Structure 1
Amino acid sequence: MPAPASAVLDAFNGFALFRAKPFFMYLISERTFKMKKLVSITVIAILILTLILPASALNVQSNFDKALSYYKTNYEANYSLPDDDFNKIKADVWTMYCVSSPENLYDLTNQFMTPEVDPADAADYVTPSEVAKDILALSILNKTVPSSINQTLVDNLVSRQSANGSFLDKTGETNVSDQMWSITALEAARSGGATVNYNKDKAVSALIALQKTDGGFTYWDMELDTTGAALIALSMAGTPAADVAKQKAVTYIENSLDNNANMIGKGKWDSANSCAQAYGIMGLLAAGEDVTGAKWTRGGKTVVDALLAYQTAEGGFLYASFSEAPDSISTTQGMMALVDLKNGKNLWVSMLKTDEPTTTKTEIPTSTTTPKNNDVETGGSLPSPALWVVGIIAIVALIMAFALPAFKKKK
């Protein structure tokens, strides 16, 4: 005989999930035992999936879809403008980042956002970061088309490293931008199968030498944007020294939060703005931080809430709260952060061979064509595959638990 229906109800009551005993007694009475099994399985399955999948994950997807639609509607025409037009927009690695998922990358309507990369151009590039960005663009393509990373580009960037580890431009100068993007690009290229022979330890040391005593990095007097990007490079490097510097940078961002979870740096041009917020979030995700947790919540708002407060109802991103309309740069960087939030990790870090950031845990071809809303709900990253497996196994076990007694009875 099947277990008494009341036992199921008692189990529910034991967990304080349901108190309406008369109602459930009707549902799962002996007379309606088959319905009881269906209801029980459905309710428990929903509870399990609720634990596995954050309710806000689809909302982040919705925010991204609106942003991409807004971008295509309002800025695609700017790509066709003459090169001397101030409003001209050129496809680059950042616009490609926004459409980096396979379904978006090979959508012909997004093709205008993917740059053409010619390795021969690298010989004329003045800065290492220009070469690095071409490598990163090909690294995105390499995710679906293996062997896309051009060795000539990699060798060009490696050749720009000096004896002390710094990456130098053609004038012999270095800066934090060239250093961090060179490290990020070379580690992405290495994971993509390219031969990369540079001195990583010295490169990391040169980057750390540019870190401020409070843990932040600055470039053009913009600290939050730069610190977020530097966090990506340090996470990509994954050396013990990089990990220590990474924790200092995370602390810097934590100390930058205002009462509404806005990230505000100390640089001359630092203020609460969507670009700083976007890069801060991308850096924190690269470092393995839970950007929807209590650590990144102020006044009941997470840093993700603060970012999405800059998104208009139409989908574009304002630069600042006082901005009159969205702009292409803010919308691009907002989408980049949403890409990482959808995936639960930074895009570049996801290219590493291991699924986790390569860090030591501490306490503290020829020319290549790469194919205002304050009420938005926000949330964390998508669940890991392991959690899905656990959830599926649990659901199957529940079904078997109810199905086997009936099967045995029938036999």
Structure 2
Amino acid sequence: MIHVSFLLLIDIMVPSPLGSSIPALDDHVSSLNSQQPTPLRRGDVVEIQGPAASGKSHLLYHLLTTCVLPVAHHSVCIGGWECAAVLLDTDGKFNIKRFRRLLTSRLSKLRVTQDTALPAVDDQTLEDILGLCLSRLHVFRPSSSAQLAATLVHLPDYHSTHPSLRSHEIGLLAIDSLSAFYWGDRFLVEQWRTTSGNAASTTPIPTELASPMRHVVAAVQRVRALRGPLTVLTNWGLNPSKRPADLGEQAYPLYKQHLHPFPAPFDTTVATALPPRIRPVPAQPQTSAGPVCPTEGQDAFEPSGSSETRQLFSITHHITLYPSLAEPYPASLTLSEIKGDSHPSSVIAPHTVTHQGLVRTPASVLATRFAFRVTEDDIVFEPSAEV
């Protein structure tokens, strides 16, 4: 009998492509290799960075729904992965009602099929599919970086033993947000620096060793090594870069990496030496975000390499989001009407917020601009534009 972990290892070593249902992201990734265009792959790491209210969590909601939705139903394409999704909700703001509403909206496509040969989809069938989708989502709420790292370390065991999870691959590992414990962790590092500075030691100890983020990064790599999911990490945009992205008529702010130790592919001057389009990157059979499986004799949890931050993975693709452009309320409404429910539904339409973003890839000068609208029941993506 072939062991299940061996089959998982084979699947990780030969990752299958994953369509994100985000046209700009899929087009961007496919355009990086014109000879063999493929969307995202298992093992890739995507960072979503932006200031508050820029749409990071909304984008993550969309990816989570794509992961748990079925591929198709009675020959009607839904576009999901039919995989399990694991969300570490460090902000504590995940709304399951909102998630269910988005799932219902995307499943409503089953009702509008024009193929009369297909059986009608009734309410009970939709509820059954919806229930299966919700059972594939597993949410954890750690309250510190130490709890976050510990949860990630034990996630493979949880995957192997949980009745509703062990029969599914983990298609998506999401952390929203990596910056949730930033200020507390920074205080710990400052305490470490002060203590080590006062100690009578001739050999200074790097403050990186005291950073809780070091354990989080190692734990993320451990999950990648053992399960190989697509990893999506949201991150704050705290420190604007001195060089914004000049996209013709408008310059968009970019942000430096404030987490340490953590991959910062755009904080160096390497990108300035790139040729006009794309610099080829040596192909790796398992993923473009660094090794998925640990090398022989290497513990998956321990950092390796000789770089200053001893990174275990790199960012495959980076998404920068910008402050939202909310459609204004009618001028006739008062503040009390906007804040309350006293206004008639005919006076104010469901509020729509438009977000803008930029997709970039390390070792490439290609950038793809995109926009998406967030409504009460859906997330709608606009056509992408290469810049």
TM-score, normalised to structure 1's length? 0.26
Q: Which has the higher strand share?
A: 2
- Greater relative CO (CA pairs within 8 A, separation 6+): 2
TM-score, normalised to structure 2's length? 0.27
Q: Which has the higher helix share?
A: 1
Structure ID, larger Rg = 1
